Amino acid sequence: MVAAAEISGSLDQTLARMGEYFEKDHRMNQKISGAMTYPMILGLLTLAAVVIIVTFAHPRGHEC
């Protein structure tokens, strides 16, 4: 893309557009990561609770 911009003479405009695009992409990725933090914590806590319940609180059958 940079090579084509050099040939056409619009390198400064192309680099500005690319900069805006990458900044917007970076902000979107940060928002997605921030939005996924809480659900991941809840999922891990739920998994830990299930493991604890199955391991310690679940009644075991008697072997005869």
| pLDDT bracket for residue 50 (50, 70, 90) | very high
Q: Which two tokens stand for residue 50?
A: 């299930």
Tally of CA atoms within 13 A in the half-sphere of 35 that contains its CB: 6
Greater confidence, 27 or 57? Answer: 27
Give residue-wise pLDDT tens across range 1-37: 888 888 888 899 999 999 999 999 999 999 999 999 9
With helix as H, strand as E and coil as C, how does 1-64 read? Answer: CHHHHHHHCCHHHHHHHHHHHHHHHHHHHHHHHHHHHHHHHHHHHHHHHHHHHHHHHCCCCCCC
* pTM, to two decimals: 0.60
